[in-house]
Structure 1
Amino acid sequence: MSKNLLIIFTRNPELGKVKTRLAKSIGEENALTIYKTLLDRTEKTTRNLKCDKAVYYSVKIREHDIWDTSIYQKHQQHGDDLGVRMHNAFFEAFSNNYDKVAIIGSDLFNLNPNHINEAFKALGENDIVIGPAHDGGYYLLAMKSLYSQVFKNKKWGTSTVFKDTIKDLKNKHLYLLETLNDIDVYDDLKNIQAFKKYLNK
């Protein structure tokens, strides 16, 4: 067992239930195809990392999918909103005696292993590591003890999440990764060659 754990939050890839904002522009089937592409990319990015890895499913755990049980633990997300679900996942990780815990989503095309390795390394001298997203949220959060306040009183999915999280951490040693763009809306597709075929000509 590694002392570091990477938590990966995923949505079950079902038609009409993923990338709903994106689907309004390109249709539900295209949105599902893009999300499956992002899931595959996330799996490839994280597969060989030298840490323990846990996939947290939004609806129910799937046994036979891209997440190999010899590499990834499998868990169910629990809670009424994203903040509660993340808090519960971190609480479970620290209860299982992990020293450093990071969480990512599964909608980042440009995430690479170096971002995650950098986050775990930075926790050696910092309390919290955050990977900011261009839309005002964040794509990675890492900590070495549970700071419950960062999961409370946030308008999840809005442009204020990162800013409000920083306010909660003003007395902590904070390390920021580079800013990346997650894939949520139509404009997010424009700078990714693999997704340009979904843009209106």
Structure 2
Amino acid sequence: MSNQFSNTAVLIFSRSAKAESLEKNLFSSQRKRFNRTIFQSLLDHSLHTAKDSQLPIFWIDENKQRGYNFGERFANAFEYVFSQGYDNVISIGNDTPELTSDDLLQAANILDQQKSVLGPTADGGDYLIGLNKSAFCKETFQNIPWQTSAVHKSLANYFKAFDCSTALLHTLVDVDHESVIWESSTDHSKLQSLKILLLKLLGQTIFTLFYRIPHTSSPSLLQKGLRAPPSFS
């Protein structure tokens, strides 16, 4: 790897797929067992994307996170990576299947020239947060209203307090519900592969129900909780 971005590291702030599946429910209650499979696919994508960027990677999962709430844990994660000698940290999560290594390198390039960069999502959040060590105030950063629709606006105001302009990457989709996967009109290969994976899981569920439910059962039992996805081309 070129030494061009040797002062920049990627922080993957995400619980393991197992922990995510226990805490978050992407699907209706009848399909809870899908969660871990989908979260594993999303996490693998984040890890592979970060690896492809050839930037140093720190994956801080539930076993390494420290703090009483999300804000404290997130701020502590940034503080830890900075303590390892890096001037710039680019943080991503596990719910942005459209993210590419080029996005990470673009963010790294921006941080070589200014103090902050954000990758916004359509719902008011950010899939990527990049900042220079000089723009990190732990106490203020941890009190951002994380996990709300006010995150992006609050981060923009946070950076204004440091009198630094904030560059914006393109807006991407974050997966916080199964409908995001079904209804996405993008041709992005990762989103399409998630659709295929969901269809496969649905097919396995229907197959299992067909052979496990007694033949005297009403056919309607096969339909409950197995809403078909919207049609897509």
How high is the TM-score relative to the length of structure 1? 0.82
Report if the CA contact (8 A) 1:19-1:32 is conserved.
no
Rg larger in structure: 2
Q: Which residue of 2 is the match for residue 200 of structure 1?
A: 228
Asked if 1:137 is matched to 2:142, the reply is no
Cα distance per residue 1:99-130 (max 9 Å; x no partner): 11111101111100011001110012221111
Paired residues for 1:151-162 under 5 Å: 151-154=142-145, 156-162=146-152
Distance 2:104 2:30 in 1: 31
User: Aligned with 1:17: secondary structure?
Assistant: helix
How high is the TM-score relative to the length of structure 2? 0.72
Q: Which residue of 1 is the match for residue 137 of structure 2?
A: 147
Residues 1:142 and 1:119: Cα distance change in structure 2 (over 3 Å): same
1:3 aligned to 1, 7, 11, which one? 7
2:177 partner amino acid: V
Report if the CA contact (8 A) 1:132-1:178 is conserved.
yes
Distance 2:40 2:130 in 1: 25
Asked if 1:178 is matched to 2:183, the reply is no
Asked if 1:92 is matched to 2:96, the reply is no
Cα distance per residue 1:26-82 (max 9 Å; x no partner): 621112111111112122212232321111012x2xxxxxxxxxxxxxxx0111222
Q: Which residue of 2 is the match for residue 52 of structure 1?
A: 56
1:143 partner amino acid: L
Residues 1:44 and 1:26: Cα distance change in structure 2 (over 3 Å): farther
Report if the CA contact (8 A) 1:25-1:186 is conserved.
no
Report if the CA contact (8 A) 2:144-2:151 is conserved.
no
Runs of 4+ aligned structure 1 residues displaced above 3 Å come to none
Q: Which has the higher strand share?
A: 1
Q: Any gaps of 5 or more consecutive residues in structure 2?
A: 185-190, 203-226
Give, in angstroms, the shift of residue 18 of structure 1.
4.7
Q: Any gaps of 5 or more consecutive residues in structure 1?
A: 61-75
Q: Which residue of 2 is the match for residue 168 of structure 1?
A: 158
Q: Which residue of 1 is the match for residue 212 of structure 2?
A: none
Q: Which has the higher helix share?
A: 2
Asked if 1:17 is matched to 2:7, the reply is no
Number of aligned positions between the proteins: 183
User: Aligned with 2:130: secondary structure?
Assistant: strand
Report if the CA contact (8 A) 1:137-1:158 is conserved.
yes
Tell me whether 145-154 or 124-133 shows the greater mean CA deviation.
145-154
Residues 1:93 and 1:47: Cα distance change in structure 2 (over 3 Å): same
Structural RMSD (CA):
2.1
2:173 partner amino acid: N
